[in-house]
């Protein structure tokens, strides 16, 4: 094998794929070694360095992507495309190590390929066919295959000089091979990921025989060379002209190389280039040849740290979905770059599992993606340690509610639709949180706080400016005053008479937050001179919610009985309308502390009698 080894050669040892990066001696040892980079970086021992000496570089940035192996180490035998196809889909028809069997007088003989259906005579004796009908049936089924998955089948397809000359001639398709089209001509979806290809030409030599091909996966291959001549580029563009779904995941190609390959796919819709260690899409790479038909780009599992790293994509006006999951994105722009503005056509963005940790990032998203209506942003640090202005913890759902409020055009968040009611609750809650932050700060800090909430003025215009109640002096969170809550009780006029009514219907008092609702009912009942358990405490939150109401008179005979879909249709008819009403919470009698019901240091409570 040593004479056949060269730098860039693809090999497989016991199913583990690798690429030869170095051939030669290693200090402190005897004899020749092969320095290989494993496709699975966890398989190796180092990154091309031994005993302090650097012997080769790896494409992978993983610290254990490489190893040294001896040249005489047994390698797995590569397969041609047709061999791999038959091995998977007609393995009984074409055994690996034997030809079809012929039975003569009870003895088995190996005698080449399957004979014709007519009787066979050898040395004057008639031969009985064994299993040839089954073989023909399996081979016929291979002919009809539409979806072919040959992921990890050790396929190698070295391109000969005859093919190269044909591709660079005036009529490259006139002399193309037919070994694949003769066996399986109807392939529509093809997966040739994680094989032993070394050049992009090998993929093209397969696809040129498949005129019906629409989807191609070439993930996990390591191409040492993808440069094409002008003639090859022109011809391969026709070869890949009908492919709409293309994946180059984990190939470790550079951005410029990816653009060069993608330029061969003029009708492309879905492009997957995840897990390629991409950290910056360089502006130096021209996007002129990039297919303008692409509507979905998957860039998951790369190394981007800001949206500005993706600036070359801003000129793509057909992209609708951008998947950026599992990157390292924490900023919209860097200190040396401006906020990018992507095309209005991008409506769906996936930023889940990144490193977003500030609300300023969320606030800037509508500038970066002006057309965005769907966002996925779960599993980011921002939602792991949220707190209100007075230090109370918030859960992830509270954070998602604030996200909806900050992005006014959002219609879907984390795959959940944002209804009108969701938006009303979210924006009311957000406005109350801003009011709380303002109430806890000095008046001189109000302008800075408002600037941190770009939608504050807009929300005040929509819902009315909240009442800001500031303490005259700053309250230490650890002081006794911080443990008290100021409650304003108002006795509702319910028409219920009592022998000894109180002098006023209003009552203000400061109580410890730890007091239970039972205790508060006792205090209020004593003040208003009502039995405590005959009272109901209604917290007036100052927020709003949407309810469906019917604003036209409907007789009993007009009511209907139908399923949910019909109800929904009926709701859309004249008569139904969404109505905003104040959001109120009844403080249920029990041992729960009053401070767990109320977020702020003050609250208004309506007292009703039963």
Cβ–Cβ < 8 Å for 498, 530: yes
Task: Examine the domain organization and report whether 10 and 105 are in the same domain.
Answer: no
Average pLDDT over residues 95-119: 40
Cβ–Cβ < 8 Å for 369, 343: no
Q: What pLDDT does residue 103 have?
A: 37
Report helix, strand and coil shares of the chain as percent, to nearest 5. Answer: 25, 20, 50
Cβ–Cβ < 8 Å for 113, 99: yes
Cβ–Cβ < 8 Å for 248, 272: yes
Q: What is the CATH number of the domain that holds 21?
A: 2.30.30.190
Q: What pLDDT does residue 138 have?
A: 60
- How far is it, in rounded angstroms, from Cα 528 to Cα 518? 15
Average pLDDT over residues 481-494: 84
Average pLDDT over residues 386-407: 91
pLDDT beyond 70 at 99: no
What percent of the chain clears pLDDT 70, i.e. is strictly above it? Answer: 82
| Structural domain count of the chain | 3
pLDDT per residue over 530-574, tens digit each?
Answer: 999 999 999 988 777 666 655 554 444 443 444 444 444 444 544
Domain boundary among 34, 69, 104: 69
Task: Examine the domain organization and report whether 505 and 604 are in the same domain.
Answer: yes
Please give the structure tokens belonging to residue 267. Answer: 């009708």
Average pLDDT over residues 131-152: 77
pLDDT per residue over 325-370, tens digit each?
Answer: 999 999 999 888 899 999 999 999 999 999 999 999 999 999 999 9
Task: Examine the domain organization and report whether 501 and 605 are in the same domain.
Answer: yes
Q: What pLDDT does residue 212 have?
A: 97
Task: Examine the domain organization and report whether 560 and 509 are in the same domain.
Answer: yes
Q: What pLDDT does residue 304 have?
A: 97
Task: Examine the domain organization and report whether 30 and 138 are in the same domain.
Answer: no
Average pLDDT over residues 413-425: 95
**pLDDT mean across residues, the chain:** 85
Task: Examine the domain organization and report whether 108 and 52 are in the same domain.
Answer: no
Cβ–Cβ < 8 Å for 345, 321: no
Task: Examine the domain organization and report whether 131 and 47 are in the same domain.
Answer: no
pLDDT per residue over 177-187, tens digit each?
Answer: 899 999 999 99
Cβ–Cβ < 8 Å for 19, 37: yes
Q: Give the residue, 269 or 579, on which the prediction is more confident.
A: 269
Range of the domain at 506: 481-609
Cβ–Cβ < 8 Å for 468, 601: no
Residue 263 burial (10 A CB sphere; 0-12, 13-18, 19+)? buried
Q: What pLDDT does residue 441 have?
A: 87
Does residue 40 sit within a domain?
yes
Does residue 493 sit within a domain?
yes
Task: Examine the domain organization and report whether 115 and 22 are in the same domain.
Answer: no
Does residue 240 sit within a domain?
no
Q: 384-388, 402-406, 415-419: which has the minimum mean pLDDT?
A: 384-388
Does residue 352 sit within a domain?
no
Task: Examine the domain organization and report whether 22 and 86 are in the same domain.
Answer: no
pLDDT per residue over 59-81, tens digit each?
Answer: 999 999 999 999 999 999 999 99
Task: Examine the domain organization and report whether 490 and 560 are in the same domain.
Answer: yes
Does residue 244 sit within a domain?
no
Does residue 171 sit within a domain?
no
């Amino acid at each position: 094998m040593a004479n056949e080894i060269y730098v860039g050669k693809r090999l497989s040892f016991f199913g583990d794929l690798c690429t030869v990066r170095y051939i030669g001696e290693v200090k402190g040892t005897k004899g020749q070694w092969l320095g290989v980079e494993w496709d699975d970086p966890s398989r190796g021992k180092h990154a091309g360095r031994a005993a302090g000496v650097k012997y080769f570089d790896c494409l992978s940035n993983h610290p254990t992507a490489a190893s040294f192996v001896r040249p005489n180490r047994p390698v797995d035998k590569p397969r041609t495309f047709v061999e791999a196809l038959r091995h998977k889909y007609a393995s009984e028809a074409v055994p690996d190590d034997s030809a079809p069997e012929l039975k003569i007088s009870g003895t088995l003989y190996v005698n080449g390929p399957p004979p014709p259906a007519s009787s066979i005579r050898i040395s004057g004796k008639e031969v009985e066919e064994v299993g040839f009908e089954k073989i023909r049936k399996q081979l016929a089924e291979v002919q009809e295959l539409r979806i072919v998955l040959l992921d990890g089948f050790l396929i190698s397809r070295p391109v000969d000089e005859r093919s190269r000359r044909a591709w660079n001639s005036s009529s490259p398709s006139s002399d193309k091979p037919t070994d694949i089209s003769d066996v399986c001509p109807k392939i529509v979806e093809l997966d040739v990921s994680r094989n032993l290809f070394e050049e992009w030409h090998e993929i093209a030599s397969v696809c040129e025989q498949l005129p019906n091909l629409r989807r191609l996966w070439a993930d996990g291959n390591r191409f040492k060379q993808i440069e094409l001549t002008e003639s090859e580029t022109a011809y391969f563009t026709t070869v890949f002209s009908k492919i709409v779904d293309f994946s180059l995941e984990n190939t470790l190609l550079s951005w410029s190389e990816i653009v060069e390959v993608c330029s061969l796919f003029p009708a492309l819709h879905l492009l997957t280039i995840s897990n390629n260690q991409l950290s910056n899409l360089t502006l130096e790479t021209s996007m002129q040849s990039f297919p303008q038909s692409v509507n979905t780009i998957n860039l998951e599992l790369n190394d981007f740290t800001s949206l500005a790293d993706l600036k070359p994509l801003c000129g793509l006006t057909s992209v609708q979905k951008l998947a950026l999951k599992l990157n390292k994105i924490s900023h919209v722009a860097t200190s040396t770059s401006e906020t990018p503005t992507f095309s209005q056509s991008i409506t769906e963005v996936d930023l889940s599992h990144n490193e977003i940790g500030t609300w300023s990032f969320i606030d800037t998203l509508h500038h970066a993606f002006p057309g965005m209506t769907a966002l996925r942003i779960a599993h980011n640090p921002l939602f792991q340690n949220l707190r209100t202005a007075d230090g109370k913890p918030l859960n992830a759902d509270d954070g998602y509610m604030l996200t909806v409020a900050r992005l006014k055009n959002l219609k879907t968040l984390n795959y959940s639709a944002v209804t009108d009611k969701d938006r009303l609750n979210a924006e009311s809650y957000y406005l109350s949180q801003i009011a709380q932050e303002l109430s806890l700060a000095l008046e001189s800090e109000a302008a800075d706080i408002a600037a941190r909430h770009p939608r504050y003025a807009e929300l005040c215009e929509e819902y009315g400016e909240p009442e800001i109640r500031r303490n005259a002096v700053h309250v230490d969170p650890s002081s006794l005053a911080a443990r008290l809550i100021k409650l304003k009780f108002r006795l509702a006029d319910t028409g219920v008479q009592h022998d000894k009514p109180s002098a006023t219907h209003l009552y203000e008092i400061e109580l410890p937050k730890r007091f239970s609702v039972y205790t508060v009912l006792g205090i209020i009942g004593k003040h208003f001179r009502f039995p405590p358990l005959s009272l109901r405490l209604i917290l007036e939150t100052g927020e709003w919610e949407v309810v469906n109401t019917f604003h036209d008179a409907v007789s009993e005979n007009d009511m209907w009985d139908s399923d949910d879909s019909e109800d929904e249709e009926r709701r859309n008819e004249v008569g139904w309308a969404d109505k905003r009403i104040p959001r109120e919470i009844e403080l249920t009698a029990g041992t729960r502390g009053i401070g767990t019901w109320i977020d702020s240091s003050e609250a208004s409570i309506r007292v009703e009698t039963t």
